Structure 1
Amino acid sequence: MIFHEMDIFIFIAFGVAMWAQSKVQSNFERYAKVGAKAQVTGLQVARKLLDEHGLYDVKVELSKRGSLSDHYDPLKRVVRLSQPVYSRASVASLSIAAHEVGHAIQHAEGYAMLKFRSLLFPAANLGSRSAPILLILGFVMKFSPLIGIGIGLFSVAVLFQLATLPVEFDASNRAKKELYRLGFVSETERTGVNRVLNAAALTYVASAAIAALQLLKFVMIFAGGRD
Protein backbone atom coordinates (compact mmCIF):
# COMPACT_ATOMS: atom_id res chain seq x y z
CA MET A 1 0.00 0.00 0.00
CA ILE A 2 1.24 3.49 -0.89
CA PHE A 3 -0.80 5.06 1.91
CA HIS A 4 -0.37 3.66 5.43
CA GLU A 5 -2.83 4.14 8.27
CA MET A 6 -0.18 6.03 10.29
CA ASP A 7 0.32 8.59 7.52
CA ILE A 8 -2.70 10.65 8.58
CA PHE A 9 -1.15 11.18 12.02
CA ILE A 10 2.22 11.96 10.47
CA PHE A 11 0.59 14.55 8.19
CA ILE A 12 -1.10 16.13 11.20
CA ALA A 13 2.22 16.25 13.08
CA PHE A 14 3.87 17.87 10.05
CA GLY A 15 1.11 20.47 10.02
CA VAL A 16 1.67 21.20 13.70
CA ALA A 17 5.42 21.48 13.07
CA MET A 18 4.90 24.00 10.26
CA TRP A 19 2.49 26.00 12.41
CA ALA A 20 4.92 25.93 15.34
CA GLN A 21 7.77 27.15 13.14
CA SER A 22 5.64 30.02 11.90
CA LYS A 23 4.80 30.89 15.52
CA VAL A 24 8.50 30.96 16.38
CA GLN A 25 9.16 33.39 13.54
CA SER A 26 6.14 35.57 14.18
CA ASN A 27 6.69 35.76 17.95
CA PHE A 28 10.35 36.54 17.48
CA GLU A 29 9.62 39.29 14.96
CA ARG A 30 6.88 40.71 17.19
CA TYR A 31 8.89 40.82 20.41
CA ALA A 32 12.11 41.81 18.67
CA LYS A 33 10.32 45.13 18.20
CA VAL A 34 9.40 45.40 21.88
CA GLY A 35 12.21 47.10 23.77
CA ALA A 36 13.05 45.62 27.16
CA LYS A 37 12.72 48.11 30.00
CA ALA A 38 16.03 46.88 31.42
CA GLN A 39 17.69 48.29 28.29
CA VAL A 40 20.31 45.54 28.06
CA THR A 41 21.28 43.57 24.97
CA GLY A 42 21.29 39.81 24.55
CA LEU A 43 25.08 39.91 24.85
CA GLN A 44 24.90 41.74 28.17
CA VAL A 45 22.25 39.41 29.55
CA ALA A 46 24.18 36.31 28.50
CA ARG A 47 27.40 37.59 30.05
CA LYS A 48 25.67 38.54 33.29
CA LEU A 49 23.92 35.19 33.67
CA LEU A 50 27.11 33.26 32.93
CA ASP A 51 29.05 35.30 35.49
CA GLU A 52 26.28 34.82 38.05
CA HIS A 53 26.91 31.07 37.81
CA GLY A 54 30.68 31.36 37.83
CA LEU A 55 31.02 30.47 34.15
CA TYR A 56 33.62 33.13 33.42
CA ASP A 57 35.41 30.89 30.92
CA VAL A 58 32.32 30.49 28.71
CA LYS A 59 32.49 33.00 25.88
CA VAL A 60 29.65 34.80 24.14
CA GLU A 61 30.15 35.24 20.41
CA LEU A 62 28.23 36.51 17.41
CA SER A 63 26.83 33.65 15.33
CA LYS A 64 27.65 33.72 11.63
CA ARG A 65 24.74 31.50 10.62
CA GLY A 66 22.09 34.21 10.42
CA SER A 67 18.82 34.88 12.24
CA LEU A 68 17.61 32.36 14.85
CA SER A 69 20.89 30.43 14.70
CA ASP A 70 21.46 30.91 18.43
CA HIS A 71 23.04 27.93 20.19
CA TYR A 72 25.44 26.75 22.88
CA ASP A 73 28.55 24.86 21.77
CA PRO A 74 29.51 22.46 24.59
CA LEU A 75 32.78 21.44 22.93
CA LYS A 76 34.19 24.96 22.68
CA ARG A 77 32.13 26.25 25.63
CA VAL A 78 30.73 29.17 23.66
CA VAL A 79 27.27 30.74 23.57
CA ARG A 80 26.66 31.99 20.04
CA LEU A 81 23.94 34.54 19.44
CA SER A 82 22.51 35.75 16.13
CA GLN A 83 22.83 39.44 15.28
CA PRO A 84 19.30 40.49 16.37
CA VAL A 85 19.77 38.73 19.72
CA TYR A 86 23.41 39.68 20.28
CA SER A 87 23.13 43.43 19.80
CA ARG A 88 19.53 44.41 20.53
CA ALA A 89 17.75 45.17 23.79
CA SER A 90 14.40 43.55 23.08
CA VAL A 91 12.19 41.10 24.94
CA ALA A 92 12.92 38.49 22.25
CA SER A 93 16.70 38.92 22.45
CA LEU A 94 16.72 38.63 26.24
CA SER A 95 14.58 35.51 26.14
CA ILE A 96 16.70 33.65 23.58
CA ALA A 97 20.03 34.72 25.09
CA ALA A 98 18.93 33.48 28.52
CA HIS A 99 17.72 30.18 27.02
CA GLU A 100 21.11 29.47 25.44
CA VAL A 101 22.85 30.32 28.70
CA GLY A 102 20.47 27.81 30.29
CA HIS A 103 22.19 25.11 28.22
CA ALA A 104 25.61 26.32 29.37
CA ILE A 105 24.45 26.06 32.99
CA GLN A 106 23.10 22.56 32.34
CA HIS A 107 26.48 21.57 30.95
CA ALA A 108 28.36 23.01 33.92
CA GLU A 109 26.06 21.30 36.43
CA GLY A 110 26.15 17.96 34.64
CA TYR A 111 22.41 17.94 33.96
CA ALA A 112 21.50 14.26 33.57
CA MET A 113 19.34 14.49 30.46
CA LEU A 114 21.91 16.62 28.67
CA LYS A 115 24.59 14.03 29.43
CA PHE A 116 22.28 11.25 28.25
CA ARG A 117 21.53 13.08 25.00
CA SER A 118 25.24 13.68 24.41
CA LEU A 119 25.92 9.96 24.80
CA LEU A 120 23.23 9.23 22.22
CA PHE A 121 24.47 11.76 19.69
CA PRO A 122 27.03 9.66 17.75
CA ALA A 123 24.62 6.75 17.26
CA ALA A 124 21.68 9.08 16.63
CA ASN A 125 23.65 10.98 13.98
CA LEU A 126 24.54 7.71 12.29
CA GLY A 127 20.95 6.52 12.54
CA SER A 128 19.42 9.67 11.05
CA ARG A 129 21.77 9.45 8.06
CA SER A 130 21.81 5.72 7.35
CA ALA A 131 18.44 4.43 8.60
CA PRO A 132 16.35 5.82 5.67
CA ILE A 133 18.68 4.18 3.14
CA LEU A 134 18.68 0.85 4.97
CA LEU A 135 14.90 0.88 5.36
CA ILE A 136 14.27 1.66 1.69
CA LEU A 137 16.68 -1.06 0.56
CA GLY A 138 15.27 -3.50 3.07
CA PHE A 139 11.66 -2.98 2.02
CA VAL A 140 12.49 -3.02 -1.70
CA MET A 141 14.57 -6.18 -1.37
CA LYS A 142 12.20 -7.63 1.23
CA PHE A 143 15.23 -8.42 3.36
CA SER A 144 14.13 -8.49 7.02
CA PRO A 145 17.57 -8.24 8.68
CA LEU A 146 18.30 -5.01 6.83
CA ILE A 147 14.93 -3.59 7.83
CA GLY A 148 15.58 -4.57 11.44
CA ILE A 149 18.93 -2.80 11.46
CA GLY A 150 17.35 0.29 9.90
CA ILE A 151 14.59 0.34 12.52
CA GLY A 152 17.15 -0.09 15.30
CA LEU A 153 19.25 2.82 14.09
CA PHE A 154 16.19 4.99 13.54
CA SER A 155 15.02 4.17 17.07
CA VAL A 156 18.19 5.72 18.48
CA ALA A 157 17.59 8.88 16.44
CA VAL A 158 14.03 9.05 17.79
CA LEU A 159 15.25 8.50 21.35
CA PHE A 160 17.67 11.40 20.86
CA GLN A 161 14.80 13.69 19.85
CA LEU A 162 12.73 12.57 22.83
CA ALA A 163 15.68 13.22 25.15
CA THR A 164 15.95 16.70 23.64
CA LEU A 165 12.52 17.69 24.99
CA PRO A 166 13.35 17.83 28.73
CA VAL A 167 16.68 19.49 27.88
CA GLU A 168 14.94 22.31 25.99
CA PHE A 169 12.11 22.73 28.50
CA ASP A 170 14.58 22.87 31.38
CA ALA A 171 16.72 25.49 29.59
CA SER A 172 13.63 27.65 29.05
CA ASN A 173 12.57 27.29 32.68
CA ARG A 174 16.04 28.28 33.81
CA ALA A 175 15.95 31.27 31.45
CA LYS A 176 12.64 32.53 32.81
CA LYS A 177 13.72 32.05 36.41
CA GLU A 178 17.00 33.92 35.93
CA LEU A 179 15.47 36.77 33.93
CA TYR A 180 12.86 37.33 36.65
CA ARG A 181 15.30 36.87 39.53
CA LEU A 182 17.77 39.44 38.23
CA GLY A 183 15.08 41.91 37.22
CA PHE A 184 15.85 41.88 33.51
CA VAL A 185 12.17 41.34 32.72
CA SER A 186 9.25 43.30 34.17
CA GLU A 187 5.84 41.83 34.99
CA THR A 188 4.36 43.26 31.80
CA GLU A 189 7.12 41.63 29.71
CA ARG A 190 6.62 38.10 31.06
CA THR A 191 3.96 37.33 28.48
CA GLY A 192 6.39 38.08 25.68
CA VAL A 193 9.11 35.91 27.22
CA ASN A 194 6.68 33.02 27.60
CA ARG A 195 5.42 33.30 24.03
CA VAL A 196 8.90 33.40 22.51
CA LEU A 197 10.22 30.43 24.49
CA ASN A 198 7.04 28.32 24.43
CA ALA A 199 6.74 28.59 20.65
CA ALA A 200 10.32 27.38 20.26
CA ALA A 201 9.64 24.46 22.60
CA LEU A 202 6.62 23.42 20.56
CA THR A 203 8.79 22.92 17.48
CA TYR A 204 10.81 20.30 19.36
CA VAL A 205 7.63 18.56 20.47
CA ALA A 206 6.30 18.43 16.92
CA SER A 207 9.61 17.13 15.53
CA ALA A 208 9.77 14.40 18.15
CA ALA A 209 6.16 13.43 17.41
CA ILE A 210 6.87 13.14 13.67
CA ALA A 211 9.92 10.95 14.30
CA ALA A 212 8.09 8.72 16.79
CA LEU A 213 5.12 8.26 14.45
CA GLN A 214 7.41 7.41 11.54
CA LEU A 215 9.17 4.83 13.68
CA LEU A 216 5.84 3.29 14.68
CA LYS A 217 4.86 3.14 11.02
CA PHE A 218 8.05 1.29 10.09
CA VAL A 219 7.58 -1.15 12.97
CA MET A 220 3.98 -1.84 11.96
CA ILE A 221 4.96 -2.44 8.31
CA PHE A 222 7.81 -4.67 9.39
CA ALA A 223 5.62 -6.66 11.79
CA GLY A 224 2.90 -6.97 9.17
CA GLY A 225 5.38 -8.24 6.59
CA ARG A 226 6.72 -10.85 8.98
CA ASP A 227 3.21 -12.05 9.73
Structure 2
Amino acid sequence: MYFLLILAMILSLYAQSNISNTYNKYSRIANRRGYTGAQVATQMLQNSGIYDVRVERVAGNLTDHYDPRTKTLRLSQSVYDSTSVAALGVAAHETGHAIQHDVGYAPLSLRSIFVPVANLGSKLSLPLIFIGMFFTSSSGNMMIDLGIIFFALSVAFTLITLPVEFNASSRAITLLVDQNFLDESEVSGAKKVLQAAALTYVAAAIAAVAQLLRLIAIFGRRND
Protein backbone atom coordinates (compact mmCIF):
# COMPACT_ATOMS: atom_id res chain seq x y z
CA MET A 1 0.00 0.00 0.00
CA TYR A 2 2.78 2.42 0.92
CA PHE A 3 4.60 1.49 -2.28
CA LEU A 4 1.43 2.43 -4.17
CA LEU A 5 1.25 5.76 -2.33
CA ILE A 6 4.88 6.56 -3.13
CA LEU A 7 4.39 5.50 -6.74
CA ALA A 8 1.31 7.71 -7.00
CA MET A 9 3.21 10.70 -5.60
CA ILE A 10 6.17 10.22 -7.95
CA LEU A 11 3.92 9.62 -10.96
CA SER A 12 1.83 12.68 -10.13
CA LEU A 13 4.89 14.93 -9.93
CA TYR A 14 6.25 13.51 -13.18
CA ALA A 15 2.88 13.83 -14.93
CA GLN A 16 2.52 17.50 -13.99
CA SER A 17 6.05 18.29 -15.10
CA ASN A 18 5.63 16.28 -18.29
CA ILE A 19 2.38 17.93 -19.40
CA SER A 20 3.81 21.37 -18.71
CA ASN A 21 7.02 20.74 -20.64
CA THR A 22 5.33 18.92 -23.52
CA TYR A 23 2.57 21.50 -23.93
CA ASN A 24 5.06 24.38 -23.79
CA LYS A 25 7.25 22.70 -26.42
CA TYR A 26 4.48 22.13 -28.97
CA SER A 27 2.71 25.40 -28.21
CA ARG A 28 5.66 27.07 -29.94
CA ILE A 29 5.21 25.06 -33.14
CA ALA A 30 2.55 26.41 -35.51
CA ASN A 31 0.68 24.04 -37.81
CA ARG A 32 1.52 24.52 -41.48
CA ARG A 33 -2.06 25.08 -42.60
CA GLY A 34 -2.62 27.93 -40.16
CA TYR A 35 -5.73 26.57 -38.44
CA THR A 36 -6.67 27.94 -35.01
CA GLY A 37 -8.04 25.78 -32.21
CA ALA A 38 -11.49 27.33 -32.61
CA GLN A 39 -11.52 26.71 -36.37
CA VAL A 40 -10.56 23.07 -35.92
CA ALA A 41 -13.22 22.47 -33.27
CA THR A 42 -15.93 24.16 -35.33
CA GLN A 43 -15.02 22.32 -38.53
CA MET A 44 -14.77 18.95 -36.79
CA LEU A 45 -18.21 19.41 -35.27
CA GLN A 46 -19.74 20.33 -38.62
CA ASN A 47 -17.99 17.43 -40.36
CA SER A 48 -19.52 15.14 -37.73
CA GLY A 49 -22.98 16.55 -38.39
CA ILE A 50 -23.13 18.39 -35.06
CA TYR A 51 -24.54 21.91 -35.37
CA ASP A 52 -26.01 22.54 -31.91
CA VAL A 53 -22.71 22.80 -29.99
CA ARG A 54 -21.30 26.30 -29.39
CA VAL A 55 -17.56 26.90 -29.40
CA GLU A 56 -16.64 29.62 -26.91
CA ARG A 57 -13.53 31.24 -25.50
CA VAL A 58 -12.97 30.82 -21.75
CA ALA A 59 -10.51 32.59 -19.48
CA GLY A 60 -7.50 30.83 -18.01
CA ASN A 61 -4.80 28.44 -19.18
CA LEU A 62 -5.67 24.81 -20.01
CA THR A 63 -9.23 25.40 -18.77
CA ASP A 64 -10.59 23.75 -21.91
CA HIS A 65 -13.65 21.55 -21.45
CA TYR A 66 -16.90 20.39 -22.98
CA ASP A 67 -20.10 21.02 -21.00
CA PRO A 68 -22.73 18.42 -22.01
CA ARG A 69 -25.45 20.23 -20.02
CA THR A 70 -25.36 23.30 -22.25
CA LYS A 71 -23.68 21.69 -25.28
CA THR A 72 -20.86 24.21 -25.08
CA LEU A 73 -17.26 23.54 -26.04
CA ARG A 74 -15.06 26.01 -24.19
CA LEU A 75 -11.48 26.62 -25.28
CA SER A 76 -8.97 28.54 -23.19
CA GLN A 77 -7.35 31.72 -24.47
CA SER A 78 -4.14 29.81 -25.22
CA VAL A 79 -6.04 27.37 -27.46
CA TYR A 80 -8.95 29.27 -29.03
CA ASP A 81 -6.91 31.65 -31.21
CA SER A 82 -3.67 29.67 -31.30
CA THR A 83 -2.36 27.92 -34.40
CA SER A 84 0.06 25.73 -32.45
CA VAL A 85 0.16 21.95 -32.77
CA ALA A 86 -0.56 21.72 -29.03
CA ALA A 87 -3.64 23.92 -29.33
CA LEU A 88 -5.06 21.84 -32.16
CA GLY A 89 -4.52 18.66 -30.15
CA VAL A 90 -6.39 20.09 -27.17
CA ALA A 91 -9.20 21.51 -29.33
CA ALA A 92 -9.62 18.16 -31.09
CA HIS A 93 -9.67 16.34 -27.75
CA GLU A 94 -12.50 18.50 -26.41
CA THR A 95 -14.33 18.04 -29.70
CA GLY A 96 -13.94 14.33 -29.11
CA HIS A 97 -15.99 14.75 -25.91
CA ALA A 98 -18.71 16.59 -27.83
CA ILE A 99 -18.83 13.73 -30.34
CA GLN A 100 -19.00 11.21 -27.49
CA HIS A 101 -22.03 13.07 -26.17
CA ASP A 102 -23.66 13.19 -29.58
CA VAL A 103 -23.28 9.45 -30.23
CA GLY A 104 -24.25 8.45 -26.67
CA TYR A 105 -20.86 7.07 -25.63
CA ALA A 106 -21.74 4.97 -22.55
CA PRO A 107 -18.77 5.81 -20.28
CA LEU A 108 -19.40 9.54 -20.78
CA SER A 109 -23.07 9.09 -19.86
CA LEU A 110 -22.04 7.12 -16.77
CA ARG A 111 -19.54 9.79 -15.77
CA SER A 112 -22.21 12.48 -16.12
CA ILE A 113 -24.44 10.52 -13.75
CA PHE A 114 -21.58 10.23 -11.26
CA VAL A 115 -20.73 13.95 -11.23
CA PRO A 116 -23.14 15.00 -8.43
CA VAL A 117 -22.37 11.82 -6.48
CA ALA A 118 -18.63 12.37 -6.79
CA ASN A 119 -18.93 16.04 -5.78
CA LEU A 120 -20.94 15.05 -2.71
CA GLY A 121 -18.50 12.30 -1.87
CA SER A 122 -15.43 14.54 -2.10
CA LYS A 123 -17.05 17.12 0.18
CA LEU A 124 -18.44 14.77 2.85
CA SER A 125 -15.98 11.88 3.02
CA LEU A 126 -13.14 13.38 5.07
CA PRO A 127 -15.39 15.44 7.41
CA LEU A 128 -17.40 12.31 8.22
CA ILE A 129 -14.25 10.30 8.89
CA PHE A 130 -12.78 13.09 11.02
CA ILE A 131 -15.91 13.50 13.12
CA GLY A 132 -16.32 9.74 13.48
CA MET A 133 -12.82 9.45 14.96
CA PHE A 134 -14.02 11.29 18.08
CA PHE A 135 -16.61 8.62 18.83
CA THR A 136 -15.85 5.14 20.12
CA SER A 137 -19.41 3.89 19.83
CA SER A 138 -20.99 2.18 16.85
CA SER A 139 -22.21 5.58 15.63
CA GLY A 140 -18.62 6.71 15.23
CA ASN A 141 -17.74 3.59 13.26
CA MET A 142 -20.83 4.08 11.13
CA MET A 143 -19.79 7.65 10.29
CA ILE A 144 -16.30 6.48 9.36
CA ASP A 145 -17.67 3.70 7.18
CA LEU A 146 -20.02 6.15 5.51
CA GLY A 147 -17.13 8.53 4.91
CA ILE A 148 -15.11 5.75 3.27
CA ILE A 149 -18.09 4.84 1.08
CA PHE A 150 -18.43 8.47 -0.03
CA PHE A 151 -14.70 8.57 -0.79
CA ALA A 152 -15.01 5.33 -2.77
CA LEU A 153 -17.69 6.96 -4.93
CA SER A 154 -15.32 9.81 -5.81
CA VAL A 155 -12.64 7.21 -6.61
CA ALA A 156 -15.10 5.42 -8.90
CA PHE A 157 -15.64 8.71 -10.74
CA THR A 158 -11.89 9.05 -11.23
CA LEU A 159 -11.69 5.54 -12.69
CA ILE A 160 -14.68 6.07 -14.98
CA THR A 161 -12.96 9.20 -16.30
CA LEU A 162 -10.02 7.19 -17.71
CA PRO A 163 -11.77 5.49 -20.67
CA VAL A 164 -13.62 8.74 -21.43
CA GLU A 165 -10.38 10.68 -21.72
CA PHE A 166 -8.50 7.97 -23.63
CA ASN A 167 -11.34 7.62 -26.12
CA ALA A 168 -11.58 11.39 -26.65
CA SER A 169 -7.85 11.53 -27.41
CA SER A 170 -8.13 8.59 -29.82
CA ARG A 171 -10.98 10.32 -31.64
CA ALA A 172 -8.96 13.56 -31.71
CA ILE A 173 -5.94 12.03 -33.42
CA THR A 174 -8.12 10.19 -35.94
CA LEU A 175 -9.98 13.39 -36.83
CA LEU A 176 -6.81 15.45 -37.10
CA VAL A 177 -5.39 12.93 -39.57
CA ASP A 178 -8.52 11.99 -41.54
CA GLN A 179 -9.66 15.59 -41.99
CA ASN A 180 -6.15 16.81 -42.89
CA PHE A 181 -5.78 19.42 -40.18
CA LEU A 182 -2.22 18.32 -39.41
CA ASP A 183 0.59 16.85 -41.47
CA GLU A 184 1.97 13.47 -40.47
CA SER A 185 4.99 15.05 -38.79
CA GLU A 186 2.74 17.41 -36.80
CA VAL A 187 0.43 14.64 -35.60
CA SER A 188 3.28 13.19 -33.56
CA GLY A 189 3.44 16.39 -31.51
CA ALA A 190 -0.31 16.42 -30.93
CA LYS A 191 -0.14 12.79 -29.79
CA LYS A 192 2.59 13.59 -27.28
CA VAL A 193 0.55 16.45 -25.83
CA LEU A 194 -2.53 14.26 -25.43
CA GLN A 195 -0.52 11.36 -24.02
CA ALA A 196 1.04 13.69 -21.45
CA ALA A 197 -2.43 14.93 -20.50
CA ALA A 198 -3.71 11.35 -20.20
CA LEU A 199 -0.89 10.51 -17.80
CA THR A 200 -2.19 13.12 -15.36
CA TYR A 201 -5.52 11.26 -15.22
CA VAL A 202 -3.73 7.95 -14.67
CA ALA A 203 -1.69 9.48 -11.85
CA ALA A 204 -4.84 10.91 -10.25
CA ALA A 205 -6.55 7.52 -10.44
CA ILE A 206 -3.62 5.69 -8.85
CA ALA A 207 -3.42 8.30 -6.09
CA ALA A 208 -7.16 8.03 -5.41
CA VAL A 209 -7.07 4.22 -5.24
CA ALA A 210 -4.00 4.32 -2.99
CA GLN A 211 -5.70 6.77 -0.61
CA LEU A 212 -8.85 4.61 -0.50
CA LEU A 213 -6.81 1.50 0.33
CA ARG A 214 -5.00 3.48 3.03
CA LEU A 215 -8.28 4.55 4.64
CA ILE A 216 -9.60 0.99 4.53
CA ALA A 217 -6.39 -0.35 6.08
CA ILE A 218 -6.33 2.23 8.86
CA PHE A 219 -9.96 2.11 9.88
CA GLY A 220 -10.40 -1.56 9.12
CA ARG A 221 -8.05 -2.28 12.01
CA ARG A 222 -10.04 0.11 14.19
CA ASN A 223 -13.14 -2.01 13.70
CA ASP A 224 -11.36 -5.25 14.65
Q: What's the TM-score bracket when you normalise by the shorter of the two chains?
A: over 0.9
TM-score (norm 1): 0.94
Aligned to 2:92: 98
> How far did residue 138 of structure 1 move?
1.8
Aligned to 1:13: 8
Query: In structure 2, what is the Cα distance between the partners aligned to 1:23 and 1:181?
Result: 28
SS in 2 for 1:141: coil
Q: Map 1:33-72 onto structure 2 (within 5 A).
A: 33-64=28-59, 66-72=60-66
2:176–2:187 CA contact under 8 A, matched in 1: no
Instruction: In structure 1, list runs of 5 or more residues that go unmatched.
Output: 1-5
Aligned to 1:32: 27
Deviations 1:113-145 (A, max 9, x none): 011111111111100011011112223434210
The root-mean-square deviation of aligned C-alpha atoms, in Å, is 1.1
Q: Work out which of the residue numbers 134, 150, 155 in structure 2 matches 1:153.
A: 150
Aligned to 2:118: 124
Aligned to 1:138: 132
Query: In structure 2, what is the Cα distance between the partners aligned to 1:176 and 1:212?
Result: 29
Query: In structure 2, what is the Cα distance between the partners aligned to 1:165 and 1:188?
Result: 27
Q: Map 1:149-188 onto structure 2 (within 5 A).
A: 149-188=146-185
- Which portions of structure 1, spanning 4 or more consecutive aligned residues, are displaced by more than 3 angstroms? none
SS in 1 for 2:189: helix
> How far did residue 8 of structure 1 move?
4.4
Query: In structure 1, what is the Cα distance between the partners aligned to 2:72 and 2:19?
Result: 23
SS in 1 for 2:182: coil
Aligned to 2:222: 225
SS in 1 for 2:55: strand
Query: In structure 2, what is the Cα distance between the partners aligned to 1:162 and 1:140?
Result: 31
Deviations 1:49-78 (A, max 9, x none): 0001111111111012x1111111111111
Deviations 1:15-65 (A, max 9, x none): 21121111111111110110111210001000000001111111111012x
SS in 1 for 2:73: strand
Aligned residues: 221
Indicate the percent of aligned positions where both proteins have the same amino acid.
45
What amino acid is aligned across from residue 51 of structure 2 in structure 1? Y
SS in 1 for 2:13: helix
Q: Work out which of the residue numbers 188, 212, 219 in structure 2 matches 1:215.
A: 212
Instruction: In structure 2, list runs of 5 or more residues that go unmatched.
Output: none
SS in 1 for 2:133: helix
Structure 1 residue 77 and structure 2 residue 71: aligned? yes
Deviations 1:170-218 (A, max 9, x none): 0000000000001111111122011100000000010011111111111
Query: In structure 1, what is the Cα distance between the partners aligned to 2:193 and 2:134?
Result: 44
SS in 1 for 2:63: coil
Query: In structure 2, what is the Cα distance between the partners aligned to 1:78 and 1:212?
Result: 31
> How far did residue 159 of structure 1 move?
0.2
